[in-house]
């Protein structure tokens, strides 16, 4: 089973699998995970390949789609950039034959050729680490019973990161053993020279938040993985943020102090002018009394003394009495900012040197490491916060009541056009895409169950029906399963809703029980079919819904997004 995003090495990966001979695989499944493929990926057109689509939802979803379409006791997962050796098939057969009944998985050995004549770059060291990684699905065989026991891959892991560690932990938790086989594959060294590659890779911190949520804080020890640098990144980012805050505080104090001094200077000038006028008047009165040989009145003398007239060394008192306090606050904030900048500089330099030292130490590589080492800590912290918020209510995979959501088509996902044979008339209901994307983001399986009696009535052809369904997918994204009843009301089939056949068939293809499905539709037949199958029905009333159907429904929602929210809330409770 090979998930692919159309890498050029896919044909080389598939070639050894199609040679036949003893131990050859019973089936080769390729799952195209490109969001909008324009034809099959190069190398997947060969005879003997089953080609499926997963709609760009990540390798976990692609692998989950692939293994559920197989029926063999073992399912072997290969990445589309791995090159199996010449004897890989024979070695695989020997590895699986050596597995006892308690072994749930067998990992192949990945060889990564190092660069010749120089030390590896930071990006190349990441690829070299694959040779020592535990339980990665670049070359991993899982027993079908183990996959069924843990309900396959967790589709909430939408990147090529942690989805293999997650399923390995769940298989181990189910009581199975994982072993290393003797078969060997080669993972070519890919030179990724993009400047921002390592910064973009920090999105994996959001996946680590999900791992912590579903496997606990000590999950790294269970897979022998060393602790990451998140705590140091938090310290570095906190130092940078603290320095910025202290610097801003110092500038704020300085600005306020200047404004206060300016206001005080204006007030002081006005006060000085008033005082001068009072002094002049008092002096005049005093002089007049002296010329007239009359003693000055006591109040006049007192006013003169208070005004400072005739006092030796008289001087003005500063109005801005808090200037010293402001300066002291500014000095403290500035010193704190300087200390935090020094801490940030030292931490960033240590991180950069840790990445530069084992590398080729070229000027280009050193510059790349210096720049990205300053950006990685805040990026890592931001991604971790995003993951903690997004997965704040996450439960372990398979623990929720609902694992698949099945939607009616006409009147639910698209506006009802009776016996529609024209793809151009496919018009999604207002929040259909948003509701479906929420289901996909939650990692639940997704399907459509629809009555289309127009085929039995001769009003539309099977090809026209297929074209309309393709238009629905084009507008709303891919579905994991379609189940359509083309019979008439009087044909007596077991699939036409309100009978449970469509729901049971869809659940079987998705690898879940009907009791693990939610069915969302707009009429009573959808509700009755879900009840008959044992699924959870949610009615979203529309123009065709009768009042008695609303009254009889065990659960209703005003919009599709509200119905999906009910499902997801139940899974998180």
Annotate 532-567 with three-state secondary structure.
HHCCEEEECCCCCCCHHHHHHCCCECCCHHHHHHHH
Rounded percentage of the chain residues whose pLDDT exceeds 70: 87
Concerning whether 408 is annotated as a catalytic residue, the answer is yes
Q: Residue 567 to residues 366, 388, 406, 516, 564: CA-CA distances in angstroms?
A: 50, 21, 12, 11, 5
Mean pLDDT of 339-352: 95
Q: Does pLDDT of 297 surpass 70?
A: no
User: What are the φ and ψ backbone dihedral angles of 289, each rounded to 5 degrees?
Assistant: -65, -35
Q: What pLDDT shows up at residue 271?
A: 56
Mean pLDDT of 324-329: 76
Q: What pLDDT shows up at residue 358?
A: 96
Q: What's the full length of the chain, in residues?
A: 573
Confidence of residue 328 (pLDDT cuts 50, 70, 90): confident
Confidence of residue 275 (pLDDT cuts 50, 70, 90): low
Mean pLDDT of 449-476: 96
Confidence of residue 288 (pLDDT cuts 50, 70, 90): very low
Distance CA 7, CA 262 (A): 68
518-545 confidence digits (pLDDT tens)? 999 999 999 999 998 888 999 999 999 9
181-190 confidence digits (pLDDT tens)? 999 999 998 7
> Model's pTM, two decimal places?
0.74
Distance CA 330, CA 310 (A): 40
Q: Does pLDDT of 193 surpass 90?
A: no
In 115-164, DSSP assigns E strands to: 139-143
Domains in the chain: boundaries: 2-192, 404-572
Q: What pLDDT shows up at residue 131?
A: 93
494-504 confidence digits (pLDDT tens)? 999 999 999 99
Mean pLDDT of 94-99: 97
Q: What pLDDT shows up at residue 2?
A: 96
Q: What pLDDT shows up at residue 48?
A: 86
Catalytic residue among 410, 480, 522, 526: 410
Mean pLDDT of 288-304: 48
Least confident of 256-260, 269-273, 323-327, 401-405: 269-273
**What CATH number has the domain spanning 404-572?**
3.40.50.1000
Concerning whether 64 is annotated as a catalytic residue, the answer is no
Tokens 């989950």, located at residue: 64
**What CATH number has the domain spanning 2-192?**
3.90.550.10
Q: Does pLDDT of 218 surpass 60?
A: yes
Q: What pLDDT shows up at residue 304?
A: 45
Q: Identify which has the larger pLDDT, 36 or 520.
A: 520
Tokens 């009581």, located at residue: 175
Q: What's the DSSP call for residue 17? A: G
Q: Does pLDDT of 319 surpass 50?
A: no
Least confident of 121-135, 265-279, 437-451, 491-505: 265-279
Q: What pLDDT shows up at residue 388?
A: 94
Mean pLDDT of 317-332: 67
Q: Does pLDDT of 383 surpass 70?
A: yes
Q: What pLDDT shows up at residue 226?
A: 87
Q: Does pLDDT of 20 surpass 90?
A: no
Nearest to 560 by CA among 443, 409, 422: 409
Q: What pLDDT shows up at residue 289?
A: 47
Q: Does pLDDT of 458 surpass 90?
A: yes
Q: What pLDDT shows up at residue 68?
A: 92
Average pLDDT across the chain, whole number: 87
Q: What pLDDT shows up at residue 282?
A: 53
Q: What pLDDT shows up at residue 265?
A: 59
Distance CA 413, CA 431 (A): 9
Catalytic residue among 139, 151, 408, 526: 408
Write the DSSP string, 476-516: H---SEEEEE---TTS--SSSTTSSHHHHHHHHHHTS-GGG
Tokens 């916060």, located at residue: 385
> Could you tell me if 22 and 93 are in contact, meaning their C-beta atoms sit under 8 angstroms apart?
yes
């Amino acid at each position: 089973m090979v998930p692919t995003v159309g890498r050029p090495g896919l044909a080389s990966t598939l070639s050894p699998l199609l040679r036949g001979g003893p131990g050859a695989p019973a089936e080769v499944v390729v799952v195209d995970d490109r969001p909008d493929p324009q034809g099959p990926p190069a190398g997947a057109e060969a005879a003997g390949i089953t080609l499926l689509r997963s709609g760009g939802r990540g390798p976990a979803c692609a692998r989950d789609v692939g293994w559920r379409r197989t029926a063999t006791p073992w399912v072997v997962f290969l990445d589309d950039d791995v090159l199996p050796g010449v004897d890989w098939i024979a070695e695989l057969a020997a590895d699986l034959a050596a597995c006892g009944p308690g072994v749930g998985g067998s990992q192949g050995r990945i060889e990564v050729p190092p660069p010749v004549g120089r030390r590896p770059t930071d990006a190349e060291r990441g690829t070299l680490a694959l040779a020592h990684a535990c339980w990665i699905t670049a070359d991993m065989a899982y027993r079908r019973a183990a996959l069924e026991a843990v309900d396959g891959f967790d589709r909430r892991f939408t990147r090529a990161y942690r989805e293999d560690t997650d399923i390995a932990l769940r298989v181990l938790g189910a009581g199975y053993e994982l072993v290393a086989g003797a078969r060997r594959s080669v993972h070519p060294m890919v030179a990724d020279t993009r400047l921002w590659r390592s910064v973009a890779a920090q999105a994996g911190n959001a996946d680590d938040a999900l791992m912590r949520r579903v496997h606990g804080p000590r999950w790294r020890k269970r897979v022998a993985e060393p602790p990451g640098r998140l705590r140091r990144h938090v310290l570095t980012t906190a130092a940078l943020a603290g320095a910025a805050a202290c610097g801003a505080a110092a500038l704020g104090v300085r600005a306020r102090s200047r404004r206060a001094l300016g206001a005080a200077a204006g007030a002081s000038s006005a006060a000085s002018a008033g005082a001068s006028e009072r002094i002049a008047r008092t002096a005049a009165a005093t002089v007049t009394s002296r010329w007239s040989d009359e003693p000055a009145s006591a109040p006049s003398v007192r006013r003169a003394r208070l005004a400072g007239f005739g006092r030796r060394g008289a001087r003005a008192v500063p109005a801005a009495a808090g200037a010293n306090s402001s300066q002291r606050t500014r000095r403290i904030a500035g010193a704190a900012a300087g200390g935090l900048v020094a801490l940030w500089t030292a931490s960033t330099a240590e991180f950069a040197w840790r990445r530069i030292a084992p590398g080729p130490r070229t000027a280009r590589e050193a510059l790349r490491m210096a720049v990205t080492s300053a950006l990685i800590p805040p990026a890592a912290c931001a991604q971790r916060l995003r993951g903690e918020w997004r997965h704040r209510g996450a439960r372990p995979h398979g623990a929720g009541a609902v694992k698949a959501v099945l939607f009616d088509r006409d009147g639910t996902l698209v506006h009802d056009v009776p016996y529609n044979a024209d793809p151009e008339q496919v018009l999604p209901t207002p929040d259909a895409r948003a509701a479906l994307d929420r289901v996909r983001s939650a990692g639940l399986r997704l399907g459509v169950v629809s009555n289309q009696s127009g085929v039995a009535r001769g009003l539309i052809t099977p090809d026209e029906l297929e074209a309309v369904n393709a238009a629905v997918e084009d507008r709303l994204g891919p579905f994991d399963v379609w189940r359509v009843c083309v019979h008439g009301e009087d044909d007596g089939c077991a699939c036409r809703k309100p009978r449970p056949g469509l729901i049971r068939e869809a659940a079987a293809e998705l690898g879940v029980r009907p009791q693990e499905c939610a069915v969302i539709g707009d009429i009573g037949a959808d509700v009755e079919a879900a009840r008959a199958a044992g699924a959870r029905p949610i009615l979203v009333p529309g123009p065709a819904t009768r009042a008695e159907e609303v009254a009889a429904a065990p659960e209703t929602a005003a919009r599709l997004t509200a119905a999906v929210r009910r499902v997801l809330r139940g899974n998180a409770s």
